[in-house]
Amino acid sequence: MTDAKTQIEDTVKSNDVVLYMKGTKTMPQCGFSQRVAGVLNYMGVDYADVNVLADDAIRQGIKDYSDWPTIPQLYVKGEFVGGCDIITEMTLSGELDQLFDQHGVAYDKDAADKIREANA
């Protein structure tokens, strides 16, 4: 498990935004991963995607690393942010925008506003 933990730490620390997900950002393979990737893609966020279905050690390792039982998992600047429900809530409340602003992560503010308008 140490190899998976090292790989996860390296990925999380070397990318501003990382999404551990089932599938890829262009082809999510579960609805929850699709929702989070869809938000990030629509907002134009540059992020690394890690397909946990491709490696069982990473799939279990990311759950152990974050002490969070589900996937997807979003990391910003090395910090675990949350899963699908948390990211959805943060997007709708504007907290995700604030987090990106605080960490200098580029995103399309108009797209974020459109998501909120569509869900108002």
pTM of the model: 0.95
- 30 marked as part of a ligand binding site: yes
List the chain residues with pLDDT less than 70. Answer: 1-2
Q: What is the pLDDT of residues 62-90, one digit of tens each?
A: 999 999 999 999 999 999 999 999 999 99
**Structural domains of the chain, with CATH:** 2-118 (3.40.30.10)
**Strands (DSSP E) found in the chain:** 17-21, 48-51, 73-76, 79-82
